Chains A and B, each alone.
Chain A
Amino acid sequence: MNYTFELACKDTLKQPYLSTLIILTISLGIAACVITYGLIYLMSADPLPEKSDRVLHVQLDNWDPNKAAIEPNLPPEQVTWQDAVNIVAAKQAKYQAASAITWGMVTPTQKTATPFLGVMRATHGEFFSMFNAPFLFGVPWQNNLPNQAQYVTVLSKDINDRVFAGENSVGRTLSMLGSTFTVVGVLDDWHPSPKYFDMVYGAFSKPEELYIPFQIKAELSLPHGGQTNCWDTSLSDNYQSFLNSECTNFELWVEVENLTDISDFEFYLSSYVEQQKQLGRFNRPTNNKLLNIKQWLKYKNVVNKDMYAFFSLALLFLTVCLFNAATLISTKFASTRHEVALRNALGASQQAIFLQSLIQALILGILGGLTGWLLSLVGLKGIALLYPNFSTFLTLDFALIGFAMGLSILSALFSALIPIWHLSRTPIAKHLT
């Protein structure tokens, strides 16, 4: 057995160009498959695996009675200020938080930090617990009563590094938006990819730099970031009329305790809409949509459909490469047929020869797989360069490495078995001529 293995290794080294060509051919096919599959796998990864089926995105249909918000008859993807405030205040789920992007000047009093324009998320305190945002220091604030505004803030790690030089800044003050805020918490690095809780600026956009209580947005009349959609155009110019309007600008998410609570929450939502109808709002038929994270990602087509096409093309490409490698391995075997015949004639068993070929083919296949894996690393790096937004999640995890290795071994067997099957059908006498 050892002898057979040694012979196989020697044979592999015997024609270095041919061996390299075989390895490269297999590796190209594998790299193409791993890269395309990797993109699909990484893009569709569950961003909150512990509870993605219990964290729900809320949509209500408050749109124009004559026209759907999104064809065919779909509700808008965000909710109005009043619905956000009402539903969060009703506390019908374990956690509930509405949020919206806004911005404003941050003017630190620290001598080392320069003023800058901060991109902020105005939200409720339960946002952090619901989405498992990791805290480096401190804790989130509590969900406030609707008309109570606390001047507190949670900072991202970047901002804490920039303003407070990375120290524990909990309890210190930060002046921004023309007021003074107390820091209650600092997040650790946090780049949910896809950024499922708000994909208005793209599914792989960066998270915001600072977090402030939802009510502060109204208190300070902060600008409406993200996407604002309106259908009722008889809107006056002041800020409060926007808050009272049917314009949607707010992402609304809730987390329920158990899966069985989802139907209760659905029931609450329809009774809420019923109650609003009595007040003259919601003039379309009730059309609430409650999607969990996975359904929401699917609804938003986070994985571009092209990716599936590329993966199927890559699989076919791999097949071509394997057929090719099989031909090349056959050529390699053919060039040693005299040697094989000689060994046969000297009494080597058919089995030993078969084993030697098998080992040689497997060595080539596995080397091809390894090279392919390295190539796919390079390829994914290249894609991250080409599309910087992808760089936060483009890393090979264990599952993906497992996929690459499994594919390599299967490919090696496939490309080796064709020539061996062919070889084993060739009578010995033919080689001896």
Chain B
Amino acid sequence: MIKNAAKRFYLILIFILLYSPIVTLMVLSFNSSKTRSKWGGFTGKWYVALFQNQDIMNALYTTLIIALVSALIATIIGTAAAIGIQAMKPKFRTFLMGVTNIPMLNADIVTGISLMLLFIAFHFSLGFKTILLAHITFNIPYVILSVMPKLKQTSKHTYEAALDLGASPVYAFFKVVFPDIMPGVFSGFLLAFTMSLDDFVITHFTKGPGVDTLSTKIYSEVRKGIKPEMYALSTIMFVTVLLLLFLVNITPDKKEASGGKRLKIHRKHRVSRVVFRKVLPTAMVIVIIAGGFFYGSQNRDGGSNQVIVYNWGEYLDPDAITMFEEETGIDVVYEEYETNEIMYPKIQSGAIAYDAVCPSDYMVQRMIENDLLAEIDFDNVPNIKYIDSTYMNQSRQFDPENKYSVPYLFGTVGILYNKTMVDEPIDSWSVLWDEKYKDSILMQDSVRDAFGVTLKYLGYSLNSTDLDELEAAKKLLIEQKPLVQAYVVDQVRDKMIGNEAAIGVIYSGEALYTQVENPDLEYVIPKEGSNLWIDSWVIPKNAKHKENAEKFINFICRPEIAKMNFDYITYSIPNSEGRKLIEDDWMRNSKIAFPDPEDLKNCETFQFLGDENDAIYNQLWREVKSK
């Protein structure tokens, strides 16, 4: 008795371990607050919003169609392969099973990378098709490994008996062998479908622009905070599957004693088997395909008349994209990145031909120097006139002739702190090294920002290439590491709002938003000076739709659109006409959004320091991170 209770207790513990995150997510889907770390009361609004969020619905559709198609193809190839392998000589069979095991045992990251290298080497453009190919590849082994044991159980003689009775090999296979291995095929399919559904790593490496599965969508959202609609969607998916399974299991084949009963149950079971083997899958296929046509008709038209935009995460009002599409009929394929350093290699490798990209100052310079950018035809961008000349002049630091870039947003890097958690007025970077705030400090997870802050604190230029200065900065960063709660990028925002940390290094634009959400937060540009940054639109040399890109940039420079963007992301706009349109006085006059020249006197703009110095920075940063 005690033993049984202990066993039950253990099962419950494991169950809690496995399911507590799932329950957490379900609860979050009813949280009316947008940030994960705050409970804002119960709401069902995300479930409504979900069906209006086309991004998520698209990702869902892509995920399901890839899972379905890849599982189907894998099931066909895998089942055929299993039968073939079974008929082979043991030696060859062992070898082939070894090959089959590779994708299962190999690290996802290695599989993903190897496929990415293959696709790029053979000039497959990364996109829907490459994800599909990759998923089929890792799905086939699951099918083979599910079918093989069933094949082993199947007697060869029944197949031969069928042939003997005059059946053709094909007929014999489908009438005699197939029914026997059906459960294996079915579970192989289910496994493949689920694996595909849940895959992130391999998709991450083999996907291209504009295509997102739920996994990659979520990953790109991680940094800036997951949209609550995502929780709602997951909850719906989970509950649906749970209900389906419950229905399947409500008619189990219990071995009853009496004969009469057994017969009845058998018949009932048969009905449910028909439902679950035939009706449900058919219904699923119909729903998915119908959904596909529905979303396809809305989205996937006008393939060639498009513009591929590569922008920072959460850096453009989606309504602006819709407006642009409606106005011009140009399809916008929109991709996001988290840091300049993630964006750059993608452009450099040319694996994907983006049309409009929005790098920061120093990165613009680097791209110009490495001959990656096309000159913008300003005849097509008349709205450049609305950009304040101050910022056009600032741009000359990295784009000396104003030929390649159009300023989009600007801002400063500073310290965001929670007034209730710090004692003294904060005006210096030194607070980031204050033992008092151990585990309450959020640092930027990007090389130049982290070093820039440190170099400034040390009194050096944030464009320093002096090895001694850099070494000193590295030492300081290593010293700081034990105090840091986490290295993050956009997450600073949510964590500060949720009172997770006292002090965070943040971009001014984010600061404005956080203050609205949490009045305890205050932003300051430290007296040692900081980074004044400008993010600008550029057009890569390998762009396929250069004119469309120019139209897009021109559209963004329109004052109403600039103002719309400011309202949405609260980052400072260099568009002087646009600023005048801001209704909120507090916002329009905010020193955070539009700082006085006074505050900026110690501030510098990042410059590109050359590949070699970049490598040194990267190396030093890795040394910091791995300590």
Q: Do A and B bind each other?
A: no
A residues sitting closer than 8 Å to B (CB atoms) are none
